[in-house]
Amino acid sequence: MDGAADRHRRFAGAMTHRIEGVTDWSVPTPVSDWTAVDVVDHLITWSGAFLAAGGVDLAAGPPVADEPLAAWSHHVGQVQELLDAPDADRVFVHPYAGEHPLATAIDRFYTADVFMHTWDLARATGQDDSLDADFCADLLAGLRPIDDVLRTSGQYGPAVPVPADATVQEQLLGFIGRDPAWQP
């Protein structure tokens, strides 16, 4: 399996491709009350705050509301630099997420979020919304045992039931509170 730097490069690249394909930033997304620009803003704002809480500050980029692609590219470049750095495995201590190597923390909390929100943006904007099935399976296997923690965190909504024969992508989406059949 890829390392954290390669996984981020691949999944952030997939998100970049979807961002480049957006023609209307005001369209609703599968995340209730979010528009397409809100997805990008969330990824940049949340991850910046997550890293800052552990003492890693990212430089501010262009405003997301004005330049979503430029803001995303700036942000992703900084995160990739952290992952490609020789000290990417330095200790990162987060007040809520605990102690991890920095690359592991970015991979588990941020890259996984980018991966899942790629579906939101793609589905909302009519683009290819297929996700890597192997990574869907890995995420689902890692998330299921901490179901109660996820639901009480407020970060995930109630699971959406999916048919027994649902694909692993549909199972993951349902687990994280998305309706795999959602349409704009």
pLDDT tens, position by position, 90-107: 999 998 888 999 999 999
pLDDT in tens, 114-142: 999 999 999 999 999 999 999 999 999 99
- Looking up tokens 């803003």, which residue turns up? 41
Taking only the tens place, the pLDDT of each residue in 21-40 is 999 999 999 999 999 999 99
Question: What DSSP character marks residue 93?
Answer: E
Q: Which of 64, 70, 24 is nearest to 43 (CA)?
A: 64
Q: Please spell the DSSP secondary structure of 102-171, one letter per residue.
A: HHHHIIIIIIHHHHHHHHHHHHHTTS-----HHHHHHHHHHHGGGHHHHHHHTSS-PPPP--TT--HHHH
CA–CA–CA angle 95, 99, 103 (5° rounding) = 115
Domains annotated for the chain, with CATH where assigned, are 4-130 (1.20.120), 132-184 (no CATH)
User: Is the pTM above the cut of 0.85?
Assistant: yes
Q: Report the candidate in 61, 54, 42, 50 with the shortest Cα–Cα distance to residue 116.
A: 42
Proportion of the chain above pLDDT 90, given as a percent: 88
Q: At 6, which amino acid appears?
A: D
